[in-house]
Structure 1
Amino acid sequence: MSLPLSRKMHLVAYLKTGPTALHPGGWRHPEARLDDILEPARYEHIARVLEDACFDGCFFADLQGLYDIHKGGFETYVQQGGQISFLDPMTVLPIMARATSRLGLGATLSTTLLNPYHIARSLLSLDVLSKGRVAWNVVTSATELEAQNYGLEALPPKDTRYDHADEVVEACLKLWKSWDPDAFVLDKARGIFADPSRVHYANYAGRTVRTRGPLSIPQSAQGHPVLMQAGASDRGREFAARWAEVIFAAQRGIADMTAFRADIHARMARYGRAPGDTAILVQTTCIVGETDAIAQEKAEFVNALIEDELALASTSSSVGVDMSRYREGEALEKLMGNQGMAGSLQLVEQAQRDEKISVTEAAKRRQPNLIVGAPATVADRMEEMFRAGACDGFVLTPVTHPSSHEAFARSVVPELQRRGLMRTHYRTSTLREHLRDAG
């Protein structure tokens, strides 16, 4: 299936409040900034870069703790610079909102660990202040360490977590409608600030979630935050089909991407949703050079900075299995138990299948859909995936901060715009409008 030539791809940037995103050696690169991780200016700058390039938005991946699955501790992650969230993204996003006026801003919050009233109140506050630019990356949490940090003995079973997440989302949606858009009167002469008949209790009561409401916060310019999700398991896909307006997908290759997109669309139809109700964005990493040869040299250089132990530790964290104890031939899925992310497991399995390598070697491959080349080469590959109907756009994961996103914005975005594949300016104001703007 090919897509209409007039259709524009959507771009969302993957961010972390730490030394690295997904590339284990990225922080060691000479271009990687490390001295400003705790500085507001770091986040203001990258927000402006992305907005100047007309990205739909960005979001922060997050963990409620410090990974300690690999070798039973956090030593590898701390010493070698793994994916660590030094700051709560909810404290960083307001800074980025002040520095921009159109860029979408996403936070990762767990339905398993956080109360729906707290989630609804925090996100809607930011959505109102940013004038309708906030997204909620809905996660159910995938590590026991997070559960223990919040006073739980262990995570609930995976399917149970999604059942609970359904109710948390339902509750938030009711809370977000506490105030009608026309509730404010602001009549000083009559002494009427707002019309109480236009403020409503939520009175939500599910099997595991209860909340009365109302929120004390009015609706935002886009009504409520955009819902984003990255579930890859059968239950996760069902959740995404029901709720997600943005899906962060991690399939390798056009065939797997296309199959995933078709499956999601079929599931959405059962909920009365049209394909255009969600944007399926494939995780992609781009290393850009002046020429293909220079880009290849750059890729070889930064990949040589990867420590195998940290690469294994990263997979240990994402699949919920201590890869330092793994023995070839063991079924990784069985070892995962109640932890880990199905999407991460699928990436390991796909790398093993496509490259005919061992599970351990596949676990060291952390860059699915890596595109290396000159700007036109990178644009060619992105256009191929997009035109084939494999995706609606891309979640771009950086190798180094901020130079990866800067290089893409400076050299690849103009090429995509020249081809009519990307907007040249924002025609809309809110994130939901950006995502629905196909022209």
Structure 2
Amino acid sequence: MPRQMHFMAYLKTGPTATHAGGWRHPESTLGDIFEPTRYEHIARVLEDACFDGCFFADLFGLYDIHRGGFDTYVERGGQISFLDPMVVLPIMARATTRLGLGATLSTTLFNAYHLARSLLSLDVLSKGRVAWNIVTSATELEAQNFGLANLPPKEARYDHADEVLEACMALWRSWEPDAFVLDKAAGRLADPAKVHYADYAGTSVRTRGPLSIPPSAQGHPVLMQAGASERGRDFAARWAEVVFAAQSGKDAMRAFYRDLKDRMDRRGRRPEDCAVLVQTTCIVGETDAIARDKADYVNSLAEEELMLANTSSNVGVDMSRYREGEALASLQGAQGIQGAVDLLEQVRAQQNLTLGEAARRLLPNQIIGSPVTVADRLEELFRAEACDGFVLTPATFPTSHEAFARAVVPELQRRGLFRTAYRGRTLREHLRE
């Protein structure tokens, strides 16, 4: 079968996703953030369009790096997670039968047994549709919310994450697939010979097991990751089945794609074992001119102060106090996301800006145009092997995802670049198509 695109939708349990002004748009809904119907609706929209899945980006607290507090985020409507996605995802699972469902959880903040138990429980109930977006956390505020004095160094966090994943995999293998007997007459529920202790002991992680949960329809949750640092790429090459990439420009996307696939090859993994999905915001109009007008309007709603706060939060440096020429690495400490730093540097170079200017203007990658124009650009990146598909970040919610599903997906299907129906039932099956 010819290679086809994969799509994951980026979601938040709050007013906005990555676009600093999106929540202010007249089409964006706000009054339903705390209503189950909001999440049921978007899940059905995405499933009707045959998306591989969706995932919730998350932060375990309120960003307070910018100007030393959370005022800008709270007042101006930044990326706030009002609800725990692990509570929202079961609602979406009940409303769908095929759509993949992802949660962001930290290997630094949660212990392996808790992660393995929570994620596999949801994976079993959803019939094998769960993804774990693995993060090691990148802000001191999250560490302090969980009782830590500060974040461990970045390298140490990934070393710990490797052990957490090893422990989770051992726990997820506790029950063999055919362990259940279910013989009422003989009084045998399950075969204890097919249930095993994990007995995992690493340097910083230990767990005895066994987990009290059998395998899901896909065995265990799909592993998703977004690390862009050298250590993060090595981690992805070992574990990830989906990588969320945030490069700007085709050349940077292709370089990242090739680098990750080469690292996978050195570990004995096939290219198709991991889908590299590039972050993209698509602004769709009936014509290119209408789409440009729409983009100009929604972008005008993004206030510079909130864009600066977003950048500060992602790179781990208060950019309101940044002095041109300073090295970000010297200011970050243990904080910051390398992919966000890379994106900032790429935008600075592409637009001939200072770093401080780029920090005040940084919006997500945007593809703007009619359905045909948007499909053309997506096809160009896909065929150039800059990616295996896209993580779609909405400018407005739910209308960005609705417009893409209604107008762009049929165009991609017409070209044979995207499925017209699900062939499998689990998320891992969707990703291997």
Question: TM-score category by the smaller chain?
Answer: over 0.9
Q: Contact 1:57 / 1:105 at 8 angstroms: preserved in 2? A: yes
| Pairing 1:77–2:73 present | yes
Q: Contact 1:347 / 1:368 at 8 angstroms: preserved in 2? A: no
What's the % identity of the aligned pairs? 75
| Pairing 1:153–2:153 present | no
1:137 paired residue number:
133
**Alignment partner of 1:418 out of 414, 418, 422:** 414
1:384 paired residue number:
380
| Pairing 1:168–2:164 present | yes
Q: Secondary structure at the match of 1:112?
A: coil
CA distance in 2, matches of 1:277, 1:306: 38
Q: Contact 1:289 / 1:374 at 8 angstroms: preserved in 2? A: yes
Q: Secondary structure at the match of 1:330?
A: coil
Q: What amino acid maps onto 1:33 in structure 2?
A: T
Alignment of structure 1 residues 211-230 onto 2, 5 Å: 211-230=207-226
Classify 1:400/1:368 alpha carbon distance in 2 versus 1 (closer, same or farther; 3 Å).
closer
Q: Secondary structure at the match of 1:138?
A: strand
Deviation at 1:366, TM superposition (A): 3.4
2:123 paired residue number:
127
CA distance in 2, matches of 1:383, 1:360: 33
2:425 paired residue number:
429
Q: Deviations over 1:166-206 (max 9, x none)?
A: 00000001101110000000011110000000000000000
**Alignment partner of 2:400 out of 401, 404, 415:** 404
| Pairing 1:39–2:35 present | yes
Deviation at 1:368, TM superposition (A): 3.8
**Alignment partner of 1:317 out of 301, 309, 313:** 313
**Alignment partner of 2:265 out of 262, 266, 269:** 269
Deviation at 1:129, TM superposition (A): 0.2
Q: What amino acid maps onto 2:226 in structure 1?
A: A
2:349 paired residue number:
353
**Alignment partner of 2:88 out of 89, 92, 111:** 92
| Pairing 1:20–2:31 present | no
Deviation at 1:253, TM superposition (A): 1.2
Q: Contact 2:86 / 2:103 at 8 angstroms: preserved in 1? A: yes
Q: What amino acid maps onto 1:134 in structure 2?
A: V
CA distance in 1, matches of 2:18, 2:286: 24
Q: Secondary structure at the match of 2:55?
A: strand
CA distance in 1, matches of 2:146, 2:335: 16
Alignment of structure 1 residues 266-345 onto 2, 5 Å: 266-345=262-341
CA distance in 2, matches of 1:226, 1:365: 34
2:229 paired residue number:
233
CA distance in 1, matches of 2:380, 2:363: 19
* Structure 2, unpaired ranges of 5+: none
CA distance in 2, matches of 1:345, 1:33: 31
Runs of 4+ displaced beyond 2 Å = 364-369
TM-score under structure 1 length normalisation: 0.98
CA distance in 1, matches of 2:197, 2:358: 51
CA distance in 1, matches of 2:329, 2:351: 20
Q: Contact 2:20 / 2:302 at 8 angstroms: preserved in 1? A: yes
Q: What amino acid maps onto 1:329 in structure 2?
A: G
Q: Secondary structure at the match of 2:380?
A: helix
TM-score under structure 2 length normalisation: 0.99
How many residues align? The count is 433
Q: Secondary structure at the match of 2:372?
A: helix
* Structure 1, unpaired ranges of 5+: none
Deviation at 1:361, TM superposition (A): 1.8
Q: Secondary structure at the match of 1:404?
A: helix
**Alignment partner of 1:56 out of 52, 56, 62:** 52
Q: What amino acid maps onto 2:26 in structure 1?
A: P
| Pairing 1:178–2:185 present | no
Q: Contact 1:333 / 1:345 at 8 angstroms: preserved in 2? A: no
Q: Secondary structure at the match of 2:133?
A: strand
Deviation at 1:369, TM superposition (A): 2.7
| Pairing 1:7–2:33 present | no
